[in-house]
Amino acid sequence: MTSAEVAERVRRGQVNRTPRSRWAEYDGIVSRNVVTLFNILVTPAAVALFFLEKYQGAIAVSGMAIVNTVLGLAQELRAKWQLERLAILVETKARVRRDGQVQEIPAGDAVLDDLVLVAAGEAIVADGTVVESQFLEVDEALLTGESDPVRRQPGERVLSGSFCVAGEGSYRAERVGAEAFAQSISLEARSYRYEPSPLTRTINQLILLWAAGRISDAEMVTNMAATITSMVPQGLVLAATLSFTLGAIRMSQRGAIVQRLNAEETMAAIDVICTDKTGTLTTNRLRLDQLRVIGEVNEAEAKRLLAMFASASVDRTNKNILALKAALGEQAVQVIDQLPFKSQNRYSAVRIRDGGTERVLVLGACEALKPFLESNSCCNRVCASSCLLRRRGRSPSGRRWTGSRCGRFCWSG
Protein backbone atom coordinates (compact mmCIF):
# COMPACT_ATOMS: atom_id res chain seq x y z
CA MET A 1 0.00 0.00 0.00
CA THR A 2 1.02 3.60 -0.53
CA SER A 3 0.97 6.36 2.08
CA ALA A 4 -1.94 8.02 0.27
CA GLU A 5 -4.01 4.83 0.47
CA VAL A 6 -3.21 4.50 4.17
CA ALA A 7 -4.24 8.11 4.82
CA GLU A 8 -7.53 7.55 2.98
CA ARG A 9 -8.37 4.50 5.10
CA VAL A 10 -7.48 6.38 8.28
CA ARG A 11 -9.84 9.17 7.19
CA ARG A 12 -12.63 6.60 6.71
CA GLY A 13 -11.99 5.10 10.15
CA GLN A 14 -10.80 1.75 8.76
CA VAL A 15 -8.09 1.47 11.42
CA ASN A 16 -7.27 -1.44 13.70
CA ARG A 17 -8.50 0.17 16.89
CA THR A 18 -11.90 0.08 18.56
CA PRO A 19 -13.66 3.46 18.46
CA ARG A 20 -14.27 4.38 22.05
CA SER A 21 -14.72 7.68 23.83
CA ARG A 22 -11.77 8.58 26.00
CA TRP A 23 -14.17 9.44 28.80
CA ALA A 24 -15.53 5.89 28.69
CA GLU A 25 -12.12 4.64 29.82
CA TYR A 26 -12.61 6.36 33.16
CA ASP A 27 -16.14 5.16 33.92
CA GLY A 28 -14.87 2.23 35.99
CA ILE A 29 -12.61 4.44 38.10
CA VAL A 30 -15.39 6.95 38.75
CA SER A 31 -18.00 4.32 39.60
CA ARG A 32 -15.67 2.49 42.02
CA ASN A 33 -14.93 5.64 43.98
CA VAL A 34 -18.31 7.38 43.81
CA VAL A 35 -20.72 4.48 44.21
CA THR A 36 -19.50 3.18 47.57
CA LEU A 37 -21.46 2.02 50.60
CA PHE A 38 -20.22 5.04 52.53
CA ASN A 39 -21.45 7.47 49.87
CA ILE A 40 -24.74 5.62 49.41
CA LEU A 41 -25.52 6.06 53.12
CA VAL A 42 -24.42 9.68 53.42
CA THR A 43 -25.37 11.28 50.09
CA PRO A 44 -29.21 11.04 50.36
CA ALA A 45 -29.15 12.72 53.76
CA ALA A 46 -26.85 15.49 52.50
CA VAL A 47 -28.99 16.12 49.41
CA ALA A 48 -32.18 16.25 51.47
CA LEU A 49 -30.67 18.77 53.89
CA PHE A 50 -29.49 20.89 50.97
CA PHE A 51 -32.98 21.10 49.43
CA LEU A 52 -34.40 21.99 52.84
CA GLU A 53 -31.92 24.91 52.89
CA LYS A 54 -30.01 23.49 55.83
CA TYR A 55 -26.68 24.14 54.14
CA GLN A 56 -24.50 23.88 57.24
CA GLY A 57 -25.85 20.43 58.00
CA ALA A 58 -25.46 19.34 54.37
CA ILE A 59 -21.80 20.40 54.34
CA ALA A 60 -21.14 18.69 57.65
CA VAL A 61 -22.70 15.44 56.45
CA SER A 62 -21.12 15.36 52.97
CA GLY A 63 -17.71 16.92 53.66
CA MET A 64 -15.87 13.75 54.57
CA ALA A 65 -17.56 11.81 51.77
CA ILE A 66 -16.35 14.36 49.23
CA VAL A 67 -12.78 14.34 50.57
CA ASN A 68 -12.73 10.53 50.62
CA THR A 69 -14.02 10.32 47.04
CA VAL A 70 -11.60 12.96 45.72
CA LEU A 71 -8.58 11.23 47.27
CA GLY A 72 -9.57 7.86 45.82
CA LEU A 73 -10.20 9.32 42.36
CA ALA A 74 -6.91 11.23 42.38
CA GLN A 75 -4.89 8.15 43.29
CA GLU A 76 -6.47 5.85 40.68
CA LEU A 77 -6.29 8.47 37.92
CA ARG A 78 -2.63 9.08 38.72
CA ALA A 79 -1.93 5.35 38.58
CA LYS A 80 -3.79 5.06 35.27
CA TRP A 81 -1.76 7.85 33.66
CA GLN A 82 1.48 6.24 34.82
CA LEU A 83 0.40 2.84 33.47
CA GLU A 84 -0.55 4.40 30.13
CA ARG A 85 2.97 5.81 29.82
CA LEU A 86 4.41 2.38 30.63
CA ALA A 87 2.06 0.71 28.13
CA ILE A 88 3.75 2.60 25.31
CA LEU A 89 6.95 0.65 26.02
CA VAL A 90 5.24 -2.76 25.70
CA GLU A 91 2.73 -1.90 22.99
CA THR A 92 2.10 -4.68 20.47
CA LYS A 93 3.86 -3.98 17.19
CA ALA A 94 3.05 -5.08 13.66
CA ARG A 95 5.26 -5.25 10.57
CA VAL A 96 3.56 -4.00 7.41
CA ARG A 97 4.74 -3.42 3.85
CA ARG A 98 4.05 0.14 2.73
CA ASP A 99 5.56 2.11 -0.12
CA GLY A 100 7.64 -0.95 -0.97
CA GLN A 101 9.33 -1.05 2.45
CA VAL A 102 8.75 -3.03 5.63
CA GLN A 103 7.70 -0.74 8.49
CA GLU A 104 7.16 -1.54 12.16
CA ILE A 105 4.10 0.26 13.52
CA PRO A 106 1.80 -0.04 16.57
CA ALA A 107 -0.79 -2.76 15.99
CA GLY A 108 -3.56 -0.18 16.37
CA ASP A 109 -2.23 1.79 13.37
CA ALA A 110 -2.71 -1.06 10.89
CA VAL A 111 -5.42 -0.28 8.34
CA LEU A 112 -7.71 -2.24 6.07
CA ASP A 113 -5.89 -4.03 3.20
CA ASP A 114 -2.49 -3.68 4.87
CA LEU A 115 -0.05 -6.48 4.02
CA VAL A 116 1.04 -7.63 7.49
CA LEU A 117 4.19 -9.72 7.93
CA VAL A 118 4.35 -12.22 10.77
CA ALA A 119 7.05 -14.50 12.17
CA ALA A 120 7.39 -16.89 15.10
CA GLY A 121 6.48 -15.19 18.38
CA GLU A 122 4.40 -12.42 16.80
CA ALA A 123 0.65 -11.88 17.18
CA ILE A 124 -1.97 -11.86 14.44
CA VAL A 125 -3.33 -8.33 14.84
CA ALA A 126 -6.24 -8.45 12.35
CA ASP A 127 -8.39 -10.96 10.49
CA GLY A 128 -7.17 -11.70 7.01
CA THR A 129 -6.15 -14.12 4.28
CA VAL A 130 -2.67 -15.61 4.10
CA VAL A 131 -0.70 -14.33 1.10
CA GLU A 132 2.68 -15.97 1.73
CA SER A 133 3.51 -18.92 3.95
CA GLN A 134 6.86 -20.46 4.79
CA PHE A 135 6.00 -23.25 7.22
CA LEU A 136 3.57 -20.84 8.91
CA GLU A 137 1.87 -22.31 11.99
CA VAL A 138 -0.44 -20.40 14.32
CA ASP A 139 -1.72 -21.08 17.83
CA GLU A 140 -5.48 -20.42 18.05
CA ALA A 141 -5.91 -21.70 21.61
CA LEU A 142 -7.36 -18.39 22.83
CA LEU A 143 -10.07 -18.57 20.17
CA THR A 144 -10.85 -22.28 19.78
CA GLY A 145 -9.44 -23.88 22.92
CA GLU A 146 -7.29 -26.23 20.80
CA SER A 147 -3.66 -26.16 21.91
CA ASP A 148 -2.23 -27.82 18.78
CA PRO A 149 -0.68 -25.39 16.25
CA VAL A 150 -2.46 -25.11 12.90
CA ARG A 151 -0.55 -24.97 9.59
CA ARG A 152 -1.78 -22.10 7.38
CA GLN A 153 -1.30 -22.04 3.61
CA PRO A 154 -1.84 -19.17 1.14
CA GLY A 155 -5.56 -18.50 0.71
CA GLU A 156 -6.51 -19.67 4.21
CA ARG A 157 -7.79 -17.30 6.89
CA VAL A 158 -6.06 -16.21 10.09
CA LEU A 159 -7.87 -14.55 12.98
CA SER A 160 -6.83 -11.84 15.39
CA GLY A 161 -6.12 -13.20 18.84
CA SER A 162 -3.95 -16.02 17.50
CA PHE A 163 -0.14 -16.18 17.50
CA CYS A 164 2.48 -17.40 15.07
CA VAL A 165 4.46 -20.19 16.74
CA ALA A 166 6.57 -21.40 13.81
CA GLY A 167 7.63 -20.27 10.37
CA GLU A 168 6.79 -16.93 8.82
CA GLY A 169 4.45 -15.43 6.26
CA SER A 170 2.20 -12.51 5.44
CA TYR A 171 -1.53 -11.87 5.31
CA ARG A 172 -3.87 -9.20 3.98
CA ALA A 173 -5.83 -7.40 6.72
CA GLU A 174 -9.51 -7.73 5.79
CA ARG A 175 -11.22 -7.05 9.13
CA VAL A 176 -9.78 -4.48 11.52
CA GLY A 177 -10.87 -2.74 14.69
CA ALA A 178 -14.31 -3.61 16.05
CA GLU A 179 -15.00 -5.90 13.06
CA ALA A 180 -12.09 -8.22 13.89
CA PHE A 181 -13.01 -11.56 15.44
CA ALA A 182 -11.19 -11.07 18.74
CA GLN A 183 -12.53 -7.55 19.20
CA SER A 184 -16.12 -8.62 18.48
CA ILE A 185 -15.89 -11.35 21.12
CA SER A 186 -14.33 -8.94 23.61
CA LEU A 187 -17.00 -6.28 23.06
CA GLU A 188 -19.80 -8.82 23.36
CA ALA A 189 -18.35 -10.18 26.60
CA ARG A 190 -18.04 -6.69 28.09
CA SER A 191 -21.58 -5.61 27.17
CA TYR A 192 -24.04 -5.80 30.05
CA ARG A 193 -27.39 -4.17 30.57
CA TYR A 194 -29.35 -4.34 33.78
CA GLU A 195 -33.08 -4.88 33.34
CA PRO A 196 -35.06 -4.57 36.60
CA SER A 197 -37.75 -7.16 37.22
CA PRO A 198 -41.43 -6.13 37.53
CA LEU A 199 -41.29 -6.59 41.31
CA THR A 200 -38.18 -4.39 41.55
CA ARG A 201 -39.85 -1.66 39.48
CA THR A 202 -42.95 -1.77 41.72
CA ILE A 203 -40.88 -1.49 44.91
CA ASN A 204 -38.93 1.45 43.46
CA GLN A 205 -42.17 3.25 42.59
CA LEU A 206 -43.54 2.72 46.11
CA ILE A 207 -40.35 4.12 47.63
CA LEU A 208 -40.56 7.21 45.41
CA LEU A 209 -44.22 7.79 46.33
CA TRP A 210 -43.45 7.41 50.05
CA ALA A 211 -40.48 9.75 49.82
CA ALA A 212 -42.51 12.37 47.93
CA GLY A 213 -45.11 12.43 50.69
CA ARG A 214 -42.57 12.71 53.55
CA ILE A 215 -39.85 14.92 52.11
CA SER A 216 -41.59 18.13 53.21
CA ASP A 217 -41.13 17.21 56.88
CA ALA A 218 -37.88 19.08 57.57
CA GLU A 219 -37.55 17.92 61.15
CA MET A 220 -37.91 14.27 60.15
CA VAL A 221 -35.25 14.63 57.45
CA THR A 222 -32.88 16.30 59.90
CA ASN A 223 -33.36 13.50 62.40
CA MET A 224 -32.74 10.91 59.68
CA ALA A 225 -29.52 12.65 58.64
CA ALA A 226 -28.35 12.81 62.23
CA THR A 227 -29.10 9.11 62.70
CA ILE A 228 -27.24 8.12 59.53
CA THR A 229 -24.17 10.22 60.31
CA SER A 230 -24.01 8.84 63.83
CA MET A 231 -24.17 5.28 62.50
CA VAL A 232 -21.40 5.79 59.92
CA PRO A 233 -17.85 6.25 61.34
CA GLN A 234 -16.90 9.02 58.91
CA GLY A 235 -13.71 9.90 60.76
CA LEU A 236 -12.49 6.31 60.58
CA VAL A 237 -13.14 6.13 56.83
CA LEU A 238 -11.34 9.42 56.23
CA ALA A 239 -8.39 8.41 58.42
CA ALA A 240 -8.00 5.12 56.53
CA THR A 241 -8.15 6.91 53.17
CA LEU A 242 -5.53 9.46 54.25
CA SER A 243 -3.25 6.69 55.53
CA PHE A 244 -3.54 4.74 52.28
CA THR A 245 -2.91 7.91 50.24
CA LEU A 246 0.26 8.73 52.17
CA GLY A 247 1.40 5.12 51.76
CA ALA A 248 0.78 5.26 48.00
CA ILE A 249 2.85 8.45 47.76
CA ARG A 250 5.75 6.86 49.65
CA MET A 251 5.60 3.72 47.46
CA SER A 252 5.54 5.81 44.28
CA GLN A 253 8.75 7.51 45.40
CA ARG A 254 10.34 4.04 45.38
CA GLY A 255 9.10 3.22 41.87
CA ALA A 256 5.91 1.27 42.73
CA ILE A 257 2.52 2.10 41.22
CA VAL A 258 -0.53 1.65 43.48
CA GLN A 259 -3.65 1.35 41.33
CA ARG A 260 -6.14 1.16 44.20
CA LEU A 261 -5.76 2.49 47.70
CA ASN A 262 -6.96 -0.70 49.40
CA ALA A 263 -4.17 -2.63 47.65
CA GLU A 264 -1.78 -1.54 50.39
CA GLU A 265 -3.87 -3.14 53.12
CA THR A 266 -4.23 -6.31 51.04
CA MET A 267 -0.49 -6.46 50.46
CA ALA A 268 0.18 -6.10 54.19
CA ALA A 269 -1.92 -9.22 54.84
CA ILE A 270 0.09 -11.40 52.41
CA ASP A 271 2.23 -14.13 53.97
CA VAL A 272 3.80 -15.70 50.84
CA ILE A 273 4.37 -14.31 47.34
CA CYS A 274 4.94 -16.90 44.59
CA THR A 275 6.60 -15.71 41.38
CA ASP A 276 7.70 -17.41 38.19
CA LYS A 277 11.29 -16.33 37.57
CA THR A 278 12.56 -17.54 34.22
CA GLY A 279 16.18 -16.65 33.68
CA THR A 280 17.79 -13.43 34.79
CA LEU A 281 16.86 -9.86 33.94
CA THR A 282 19.36 -8.99 31.22
CA THR A 283 19.38 -7.24 27.85
CA ASN A 284 17.42 -10.15 26.27
CA ARG A 285 20.22 -10.76 23.76
CA LEU A 286 22.35 -13.89 23.38
CA ARG A 287 26.00 -13.92 22.31
CA LEU A 288 28.06 -16.80 20.94
CA ASP A 289 30.93 -17.03 23.41
CA GLN A 290 32.61 -20.35 22.55
CA LEU A 291 32.25 -23.14 20.00
CA ARG A 292 33.30 -26.61 21.15
CA VAL A 293 33.60 -29.13 18.31
CA ILE A 294 32.99 -32.84 19.01
CA GLY A 295 33.86 -35.30 16.29
CA GLU A 296 36.05 -35.21 13.20
CA VAL A 297 34.80 -31.87 11.83
CA ASN A 298 37.30 -29.03 12.29
CA GLU A 299 36.30 -25.72 13.86
CA ALA A 300 36.38 -23.75 10.59
CA GLU A 301 34.01 -26.22 8.93
CA ALA A 302 31.73 -26.21 11.98
CA LYS A 303 31.52 -22.40 11.85
CA ARG A 304 30.74 -22.50 8.13
CA LEU A 305 27.93 -25.02 8.66
CA LEU A 306 26.50 -23.03 11.57
CA ALA A 307 26.54 -19.87 9.46
CA MET A 308 24.72 -21.72 6.67
CA PHE A 309 22.17 -23.05 9.15
CA ALA A 310 21.50 -19.57 10.56
CA SER A 311 21.18 -18.06 7.08
CA ALA A 312 18.76 -20.77 5.94
CA SER A 313 16.60 -20.85 9.07
CA VAL A 314 13.12 -19.39 8.83
CA ASP A 315 13.14 -18.65 12.58
CA ARG A 316 14.43 -15.12 12.02
CA THR A 317 13.36 -13.81 15.44
CA ASN A 318 14.93 -16.70 17.39
CA LYS A 319 17.58 -15.40 19.80
CA ASN A 320 19.95 -18.31 19.05
CA ILE A 321 19.74 -17.72 15.30
CA LEU A 322 20.35 -13.99 15.74
CA ALA A 323 23.39 -14.72 17.92
CA LEU A 324 24.83 -17.10 15.31
CA LYS A 325 24.30 -14.54 12.53
CA ALA A 326 25.95 -11.80 14.57
CA ALA A 327 28.99 -13.96 15.36
CA LEU A 328 29.44 -15.91 12.12
CA GLY A 329 27.83 -13.71 9.48
CA GLU A 330 25.37 -14.74 6.76
CA GLN A 331 25.88 -16.82 3.63
CA ALA A 332 23.93 -17.36 0.44
CA VAL A 333 22.21 -20.72 0.85
CA GLN A 334 19.94 -22.75 -1.42
CA VAL A 335 17.20 -24.06 0.87
CA ILE A 336 15.38 -27.25 -0.13
CA ASP A 337 13.20 -27.79 2.93
CA GLN A 338 13.21 -27.21 6.66
CA LEU A 339 11.53 -27.94 9.98
CA PRO A 340 10.98 -24.78 12.06
CA PHE A 341 11.69 -24.92 15.78
CA LYS A 342 8.88 -26.15 18.02
CA SER A 343 8.97 -26.38 21.78
CA GLN A 344 7.54 -29.92 21.53
CA ASN A 345 10.44 -31.11 19.33
CA ARG A 346 13.18 -28.97 20.93
CA TYR A 347 15.12 -28.80 17.66
CA SER A 348 14.98 -27.28 14.19
CA ALA A 349 16.43 -28.56 10.93
CA VAL A 350 17.20 -27.32 7.42
CA ARG A 351 17.93 -29.24 4.24
CA ILE A 352 20.22 -27.28 1.94
CA ARG A 353 22.31 -27.74 -1.19
CA ASP A 354 26.00 -27.15 -0.47
CA GLY A 355 27.69 -27.13 -3.86
CA GLY A 356 26.81 -30.50 -5.37
CA THR A 357 26.01 -32.04 -1.99
CA GLU A 358 22.71 -32.12 -0.16
CA ARG A 359 23.06 -31.55 3.59
CA VAL A 360 20.74 -31.75 6.58
CA LEU A 361 21.74 -29.46 9.45
CA VAL A 362 20.06 -29.76 12.85
CA LEU A 363 20.27 -27.53 15.92
CA GLY A 364 18.63 -28.52 19.18
CA ALA A 365 18.87 -29.88 22.69
CA CYS A 366 21.17 -32.84 23.37
CA GLU A 367 18.33 -34.98 24.73
CA ALA A 368 16.14 -34.26 21.71
CA LEU A 369 18.87 -35.17 19.22
CA LYS A 370 20.01 -38.29 21.05
CA PRO A 371 17.96 -40.71 18.88
CA PHE A 372 19.62 -39.30 15.73
CA LEU A 373 23.26 -39.49 16.86
CA GLU A 374 25.45 -41.98 15.02
CA SER A 375 26.74 -43.94 18.02
CA ASN A 376 26.45 -44.28 21.75
CA SER A 377 30.04 -43.08 22.20
CA CYS A 378 29.28 -39.92 20.28
CA CYS A 379 26.08 -39.53 22.26
CA ASN A 380 27.94 -39.91 25.55
CA ARG A 381 30.55 -37.33 24.55
CA VAL A 382 27.90 -34.83 23.50
CA CYS A 383 25.81 -35.26 26.65
CA ALA A 384 28.88 -35.17 28.92
CA SER A 385 30.09 -32.00 27.23
CA SER A 386 26.61 -30.50 27.45
CA CYS A 387 26.47 -31.17 31.21
CA LEU A 388 29.93 -29.65 31.66
CA LEU A 389 28.93 -26.53 29.75
CA ARG A 390 25.75 -26.17 31.81
CA ARG A 391 27.76 -26.35 35.03
CA ARG A 392 30.16 -23.71 33.78
CA GLY A 393 27.56 -21.61 32.02
CA ARG A 394 26.37 -19.67 35.07
CA SER A 395 29.11 -17.13 35.49
CA PRO A 396 29.02 -13.65 37.05
CA SER A 397 29.34 -12.12 33.58
CA GLY A 398 26.08 -13.77 32.48
CA ARG A 399 27.65 -15.73 29.62
CA ARG A 400 25.79 -18.52 27.88
CA TRP A 401 27.52 -21.54 26.30
CA THR A 402 26.68 -23.24 23.03
CA GLY A 403 28.02 -26.65 21.97
CA SER A 404 27.93 -28.20 18.51
CA ARG A 405 26.30 -31.59 17.89
CA CYS A 406 27.42 -34.31 15.54
CA GLY A 407 25.30 -37.03 14.01
CA ARG A 408 22.92 -38.08 11.27
CA PHE A 409 19.36 -36.83 10.98
CA CYS A 410 16.87 -38.89 8.96
CA TRP A 411 14.60 -36.48 7.08
CA SER A 412 10.98 -37.56 7.35
CA GLY A 413 9.48 -34.84 5.21
Mapping DSSP onto H, E and C, the string for the chain reads: CCHHHHHHHHHHCCECCCCCCHHHHHHHHHHHHHCCHHHHHHHHHHHHHHHCCCHHHHHHHHHHHHHHHHHHHHHHHHHHHHHHHHHHHCCCEEEEEECCEEEEEEHHHCECCCEEEEECCCECCCEEEEEEEEEEEEECHHHHCCCCCEECCCCCEECCCCEEEEEEEEEEEEECHHHCHHHHHHHHHHCCCCCCCHHHHHHHHHHHHHHHHHCCCHHHHHHHHHHHHHHCCHHHHHHHHHHHHHHHHHHHHCCCCCCCCCHHHHHHCCCCCCCCCCCCCCCCCCCCCCEECCCCCCHHHHHHHHHHHHHHCCCCCCHHHHHHHHHHCCCCCEEEEEEEEECCCCEEEEEEEECCEEEEEEEECHHHHHHHCCCHHHHHHHHHHHHHHHHHHCCCCCCCCEECCCCCCCCCC
Report the CATH number at residue 311. 3.40.1110.10
- Of 156, 189, 222, which residue constitutes the final position of a domain? 189
Are 139 and 106 in the same domain? yes
Q: Is residue 364 part of a domain?
A: yes
Same domain for 316 and 204:
no
Tell me the per-residue pLDDT of 380-400, one tens digit each, with 9 for 90 and over: 555 555 554 454 444 333 333
Residue 363 lies in domain: 291-403
Residues 317 and 369 in one domain: yes
Same domain, 399 and 304: yes
Do 73 and 212 belong together in one domain?
yes
pLDDT of residue 394: 42
Positions of the chain with pLDDT lower than 70, given as ranges: 18-25, 82-91, 186-200, 203-204, 207-238, 259-262, 276-284, 373-413
State pTM to two decimals. 0.50
Same domain, 84 and 209: yes
Shared domain check, 304 and 387: yes
| 99 and 85 co-located in one domain | no
**Where is the domain boundary, 189, 221, 242?**
189
Note if 217 is an active site residue: no
- Say yes or no: 135 and 200 in one domain: no
Q: What is the CATH number of the domain that holds 155?
A: 2.70.150.10
Residue 1 lies in a domain: no
Please check whether residue 247 lies inside any domain of the structure.
yes
* 250 shares a domain with 219: yes
Q: Name the domain count of the chain.
A: 3
Q: Given 127, 276, 315, 354, which residue is catalytic?
A: 276
Is 30 inside any structural domain?
no
Residue 236 lies in a domain: yes
Please give the pLDDT value at position 402. 38
**Does 5 fall in a domain?**
no
Indicate whether 225 and 341 sit together in one domain. Answer: no
Residue 129 in any domain: the answer is yes
pLDDT single digits (tens) 362-383: 888 777 777 776 555 555 555 5
Residues 309 and 398 in one domain: yes
Residue finishing a domain among 154, 189, 224:
189
Q: Is residue 313 part of a domain?
A: yes
The pLDDT score that the predictor gives to residue 306 is 87
What integer pLDDT is reported at residue 343 of this predicted model? Answer: 72
